Structures are given as structure tokens and as C-alpha cells.
């Protein structure tokens, strides 16, 4: 089975043309052996202008020798013109051979510059699974490089004929790094809790490229990045690179829901867990059984592990700590014990998302990288964030789309809260979002929230965490259309549309601003705030 980049594509929802590409991706994954890697939806951009798309190709297939084939997929009807095959886009014909030639030339130029002239074979193929080419000789593409409706079942065999399997070469690693890092093809962990819905993030100056260009020994990188800056993309790039090098990575989170989500989209071979999950595994491997009935159970768990020697199977070649701002200082040395002597260490944090009052971890001597560009949140949300953060904290809007304007809905007292929440949900539905695209988050805690006590709001059944896990460690959720959870549990995840409800405070202080910041940054496209009148007055005055 071919390796597919990015990871997590099986869990993505897709419609239209993207669905057809996923069908092809499945064919390539099953039909090509592990001698090949398939890169899906590769885009490259002008590094100085993130919005100028210079080229696009649907699939790139690379053999172990580092040589590649670009596959352009054209679904539906094509037109055979005197100049060759053409695709009709809204009444405007675009030449397929011209587009393919421009793509090949653009990529060859970039590769030659990046690899300093080292030769890479670049083949090309046109895949039109719905169209039977009547005159292949005048199509503008070499007939042998056209797989039309008549030959669509032979796609993989044609690829292997034109791009044979090859012996492993150092060139492969260079090409892989080019496609993954320079072109910025990484998986963005953007999903409803417990559901692996990956999006491909294309950012010309993302952390997944810049941070991994740093060269230091030992590798100790401390990334302070705002929400949506690409910290998780970087973490997954490091995780996958470790596996590709035949080594083992550890991805450590503070938040259990985030760890559950990352475990679902990360490739197999490493370990993804929270700090307490890591401690529990150590304890159980020693033959002891943790007692979680005590009020101090987690403190006892940590204390017990501190007295143990780390077993060999819990030593790792790369240790990635996500949500570092929530890690207690006294846990730091216990975490480092799990890193081999020459391990790469990566610490990711956003101080504005620190929701717990404890001393921060000191990372003296580590190389620090700051990232203040938010690529995920709509511009209206970033304006809100800029009003919430202290003067010394910078948040820069870098989203390529404006998104929806933020909405603020207010309620006078608790008796009308639920009706206002329903209004917020309807606003998202009216904007075209499906119920599965909406996350309903409460600003309050689990025990004090009113909306978490409901199983249904209006016609919509709520999907809630049941507090249990199955035998494979997957969280159990009730059957429902709309995800509902607390800000604390949903931290580190995102959804296309977010209704942040039950927002109420007398004073908009530091703690309130941080909780708003975390909740607001969960929205990838649309944000609705459901607030008490007194809280809304303070917030709108600051904005």
C-alpha cells in the first residue's frame, strides 16, 4: 500500500470535486505498493505573497529514487478543440495541455533552485475518468500519458510503467522535504471533538517550514505561538519525520480530548497521550494498579512514577509537548526522562491559552521562536482577540479569507438563555453550515453549565462526551448532530462554526479574557457569542 501525504485523509468529509479526488486517492493507496508515496492536493505559492497561487497539481507520485509523476485529474466532460483538450469553467475554456505544461515548468524551476541543480525526473499524466478521448493524437498531451474513461481501471499500472519502482536514494528524502515543507503540505488538526476531520493548510511562511529549518545540537526548540499559527502542523511534521527516520516519537498533550484527537489523525508507530496517561502506563507496567477513587489520585500517580525508573519501551527519539503553558513546572523533569540522550525536544505553547494558575515551566537555554500570525481565525475574530490580549502580546490576522462577521447575541436572564442559544445555532445553519460543522461550547464549567444538562435544543440532538472510553481508548459520545462541550475540554481543537454560550462576568479581567480567547479561537469560519447583557456591555466597550 502506498504511503499517502497528508495523514488523516480517510477521516475527511468531502463533496463534489474533492470527493472524486478522494476516490482516486483510495485507488492509488490500494493499487500502488509501498515503493511509492502519493502527495495529494499539492499547491505552491509565492513566498512573499501568501494569496498568489502560482501552480496546482492534484497528485504527485514519488518513487523511492526520488523521481516523480504529476497527475492532473479532470472530472466530467472535456472539449476537444484545435488546440487540444480544454475544460469549460463557467463558459470559459481553459487549455488542459497548457495548464499541465505550466505546472511542470513551475515545479521544475522550484525544484532545481531548491536542490541546487540536482536532477529529478518529472513525468506527467492526465487522468480524466469520466471522458473518453476521441482523438488522442490531437489532444495536446502524449496519448500514452492520457488515462481516460476507457483505461481508468489501469491507472496504477500505467503509473508503474511510466514511473517504475526504484532503489532507495538520498534524493527521495530531499524531494519529500520539498513537497512537505517548502510547499507546506501538512495536516491541520481542525475537528469536532473525537472526529478526525483534517484540512490541508497552505501557508507560505508556516511553522511547519520555518521551524524545521533550524539546525542546532542538541535540538531544543521552544515555540511560543498564538492560536491558529500552525503549532499543531509543526508538531505533526516532526512526529512524521521521526517515524520516517525509523525512530519513535512521543506527542504529549495536557488535554485528554486533544490527545484523543491527535491519536486518531497521527500515523502509527509513536505514542500520543497526556502526561497522566504516560504516568498511568508506567505504573501499570510495573504491576501496580492506580486508584482513581481518591481526591488526590493524580498527584499520587505522579509521585509514584517519580520513584520509578523509565522502562526502555517508554524512551523516545523525539518528544513533542503541546499545550506547554498548562504543564506544571514540577512535571518538567519527569517528562524529560522519557527522551533519549540525543532526542529532539519540541515545546509548543500559547501563554494566552493558559487557563490554570500554576508556575510556568522554565526553558532556559532553549532556542525560542515566536509566531504571532493567526492563519485559522476569521478576521473579525482576530479583531476580538487583539482587544483581549495585553499590549505586549501580538496577534496578526493572516487568514486568506475574511470569513463571517462575528455575531453577539445577548440575554437578560437565565430564563431566556436557551432561546438565545437556539438563535445562535440557527444563525450558523442559515449561514450554510451543516449541524455536524457546528460546535456549541459553554464558557462555564461542566458542573455549572445549563446547556450541558440538555440532550436536545430545539430540533437538534446534542452530541455529548459520556465520560467513558472504549477498549481502544476512544472517547464515548452520545448520538447527536451538534457537538456540545466546555471551552476547557475543546481547547486545542476547532470547528468551522462555533457558538460560544453562557458568557457572563461582572468584570472583564485577565481570567475572563483568557477564557474568551480560547473559546473564540476554536472557530475556523464563523463565531457567535451568546452573552449576558452586562458581559456584552463590557466586551463591546473594549472592542
The rounded Cα 188 to chain-centroid distance in angstroms is 1
- Of 458, 460, 404, which Cα lies nearest the Cα of 432? 404
Q: Please give the class, per CATH, of domain 3-179.
A: alpha beta
Q: Residue range 30-34: average pLDDT?
A: 92
Average pLDDT over residues 434-461: 91
Q: What is the pLDDT, as a whole number, of residue 343?
A: 96
Question: Is the CATH code 3.40.50.300 the one for domain 187-374?
Answer: yes
Task: Compute the mean pLDDT over every residue in the chain, rounded to the nearest whole number.
Answer: 83
- Percent residues over pLDDT 70 in the chain: 86
Q: Which of 342, 299, 341, 349 is nearest to 320 (CA)?
A: 349
- In 36-183, the DSSP E strands lie at 36-46, 49-63, 68-73, 79-81, 84-89, 92-95, 122-127, 146-147
Q: What is the pLDDT of residue 51?
A: 32
Res 346: pLDDT: 96
Question: Looking at residues 265-278, what average pLDDT do you find?
Answer: 93
Mean pLDDT of 514-537: 93
Q: Which of the two residues, 347 and 141, has the higher pLDDT score?
A: 347
- Domains 187-374 and 379-542 alike in fold: yes
Output the pLDDT for position 193. 26
Is 90 exceeded by the pLDDT of residue 371? no
Instruction: Give the model's pLDDT for residue 55.
Output: 45
Q: What is the reported pLDDT for 279?
A: 94
Point out the least confidently predicted range of 73-77, 81-85, 195-199. 195-199
First CA to last CA across the chain, in angstroms?
53
Going by C-alpha positions, the residue among 243, 212, 514, 505 that lies closest to residue 357 is: 514
* Mean pLDDT computed over 131-151: 87
Least confident of 189-193, 206-210, 298-302, 454-458: 189-193
Q: How far apart are CA 193 and CA 477, in angstroms?
A: 9
pLDDT tier for residue 195 given thresholds of 50, 70 and 90: very low
Q: Is 396 a residue whose pLDDT tops 70?
A: yes
* 151-166 per-position pLDDT tens digit: 999 999 999 999 999 9
Reported pTM: 0.64
Non-local CB neighbours of 111 within 8 Å, separated by 6+ positions: 120, 122, 175, 178
Mean pLDDT of 85-100: 82
How do the domains of the chain map onto residue ranges? 3-179, 187-374, 379-542
Give 406's DSSP letter.
Answer: P
pLDDT at 92: 77
What pairs with residue 146 in β-bridges? Answer: 126
Give yes or no for residue 198 having a pLDDT over 90. Answer: no
The confidence score (pLDDT) of residue 469 equals 67
Tell me how far apart the alpha carbons of residues 71 and 55 are, in angstroms, rounded to a whole number: 13
**Predicted pLDDT at 173:** 87
Confidence tier at 103 by pLDDT (50, 70, 90): confident
pLDDT per position as a tens digit, 460-477: 999 988 877 665 556 778
**Total number of residues shown for the chain:** 543
pLDDT value, residue 501 = 96
Pick from 183-187, 228-232, 269-273, 518-522: least confident: 183-187
Q: What is the pLDDT of residue 503?
A: 96
Residue 9's pLDDT is what? 58
For residue 391, the model assigns a pLDDT of: 86
Confidence class for position 224, pLDDT limits 50, 70, 90: very high
- Between strands 186-188 and 199-201, the pairing is antiparallel
Query: What's the confidence (pLDDT) of residue 117?
Result: 80
Place of cell 455575531: 407
> Which among 78-82, 328-332, 463-467 has the top mean pLDDT?
328-332
DSSP 161-230: HHS------HHHHHHHHIIIIITT-EEE---STT----EEE--TT-HHHHGGG---SS-EEEEEE-TTSS
Q: Locate the DSSP E strands across 231-298.
A: 249-253, 271-274
Rounded to an integer, what distance in angstroms lies between the CA atom of residue 538 and that of residue 543?
9
User: Helix crossing, 379-388 with 510-520: angle to 10°?
Assistant: 160
Q: How large is the average pLDDT for residues 361-374? A: 90
The topology under which CATH files domain 379-542 is Rossmann fold (3.40.50)
Residues with Cβ within 8 Å of residue 70, at least 6 apart in sequence: 57, 59, 60, 100, 103, 104, 107, 122, 123, 124, 125
Residue 226 cell numbers, joined: 498564538
Residue 522, all three cell numbers: 476554536
pLDDT of residue 159: 94
Residue with cell 520516517: 244
Average pLDDT over residues 168-187: 72
The 10s digit of each residue's pLDDT in 238-260 is 999 999 999 999 999 998 888 98
Q: Which residue has the higher pLDDT, 275 or 176?
A: 275
* Per-residue model confidence (pLDDT) at position 418: 92
pLDDT at 32 over 90: yes
3-state helix, strand, coil in the chain (%, to 5): 35, 30, 35
Amino acid at each position: 500500500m502506498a504511503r499517502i501525504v497528508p495523514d488523516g485523509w480517510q477521516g475527511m468529509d468531502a463533496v463534489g470535486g474533492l470527493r472524486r479526488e478522494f476516490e482516486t486517492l483510495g485507488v492509488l493507496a490500494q493499487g500502488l505498493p509501498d515503493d511509492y508515496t502519493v502527495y495529494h492536493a499539492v499547491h505552491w505559492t509565492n513566498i512573499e505573497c501568501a494569496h498568489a497561487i502560482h501552480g496546482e497539481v492534484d497528485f504527485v507520485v514519488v518513487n523511492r529514487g526520488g523521481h516523480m509523476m504529476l497527475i492532473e485529474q479532470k472530472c466530467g466532460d472535456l472539449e476537444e478543440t484545435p488546440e487540444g483538450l480544454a475544460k469549460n469553467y463557467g463558459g470559459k475554456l481553459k487549455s488542459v495541455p497548457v495548464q499541465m505544461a505550466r505546472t511542470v515548468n513551475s515545479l521544475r524551476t522550484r525544484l532545481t533552485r531548491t536542490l541546487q541543480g540536482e536532477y529529478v525526473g518529472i513525468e506527467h499524466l492526465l487522468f480524466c475518468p469520466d471522458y473518453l478521448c476521441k482523438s488522442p493524437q490531437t489532444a495536446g498531451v502524449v496519448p500514452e500519458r492520457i488515462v481516460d474513461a476507457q483505461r481508468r481501471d489501469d491507472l496504477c499500472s500505467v503509473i508503474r510503467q511510466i514511473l517504475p519502482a526504484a532503489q532507495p536514494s538520498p534524493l527521495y528524502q530531499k524531494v519529500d522535504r520539498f513537497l512537505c515543507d517548502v510547499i507546506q503540505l501538512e495536516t491541520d488538526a481542525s475537528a469536532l471533538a473525537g472526529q478526525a476531520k483534517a484540512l490541508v493548510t497552505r501557508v507560505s511562511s508556516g511553522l511547519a517550514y520555518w521551524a524545521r529549518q533550524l539546525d542546532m545540537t542538541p535540538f531544543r526548540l521552544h515555540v511560543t505561538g498564538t492560536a491558529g499559527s500552525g503549532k499543531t502542523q509543526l508538531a505533526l511534521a516532526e512526529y512524521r519525520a521521526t517515524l520516517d527516520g525509523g525512530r519513535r516519537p512521543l506527542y504529549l498533550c495536557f488535554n485528554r480530548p486533544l490527545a484523543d484527537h491527535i491519536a486518531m489523525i497521527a500515523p502509527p508507530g509513536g505514542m500520543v497521550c497526556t502526561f497522566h496517561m504516560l504516568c498511568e502506563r508506567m505504573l501499570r507496567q510495573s504491576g501496580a494498579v492506580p486508584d482513581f477513587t481518591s481526591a488526590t489520585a493524580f498527584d499520587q500517580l505522579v509521585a509514584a512514577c517519580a520513584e520509578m525508573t523509565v522502562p526502555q519501551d517508554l524512551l523516545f527519539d523525539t518528544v513533542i509537548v503541546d499545550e506547554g503553558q498548562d504543564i506544571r513546572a514540577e512535571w518538567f523533569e519527569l517528562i524529560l526522562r522519557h527522551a533519549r540522550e540525543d532526542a529532539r525536544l519540541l515545546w509548543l505553547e500559547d501563554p494566552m491559552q493558559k487557563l490554570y494558575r500554576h508556575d510556568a515551566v522554565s526553558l532556559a537555554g532553549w532556542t525560542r521562536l515566536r509566531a504571532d500570525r493567526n492563519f485559522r481565525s476569521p478576521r473579525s475574530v482576530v479583531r476580538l482577540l487583539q482587544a483581549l490580549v495585553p499590549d505586549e502580546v501580538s496577534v496578526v490576522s493572516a487568514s486568506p479569507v475574511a470569513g463571517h462577521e462575528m455575531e453577539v447575541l445577548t440575554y437578560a436572564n437565565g430564563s431566556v438563555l436557551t432561546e438565545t442559544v437556539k438563535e445562535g445555532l440557527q444563525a450558523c445553519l442559515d449561514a450554510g453550515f451543516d449541524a455536524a460543522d457546528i460546535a456549541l461550547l459553554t464558557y462555564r464549567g461542566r458542573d455549572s453549565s445549563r446547556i450541558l444538562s440538555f440532550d436536545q435544543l430545539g430540533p437538534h440532538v446534542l452530541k455529548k462526551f459520556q465520560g467513558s472510553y472504549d477498549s481502544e481508548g476512544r472517547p464515548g459520545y452520545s448520538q447527536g448532530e451538534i457537538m456540545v462541550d466546555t471551552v476547557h475540554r475543546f481547547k486545542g481543537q476547532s470547528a468551522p462554526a462555533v457558538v460560544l454560550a453562557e458568557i457572563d462576568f461582572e468584570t472583564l479581567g485577565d481570567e475572563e479574557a483568557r477564557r474568551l480567547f480560547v473559546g473564540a479561537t476554536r472557530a475556523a469560519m464563523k463565531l457567535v457569542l451568546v452573552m449576558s447583557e452586562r458581559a456584552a456591555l463590557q466586551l463591546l466597550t473594549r472592542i
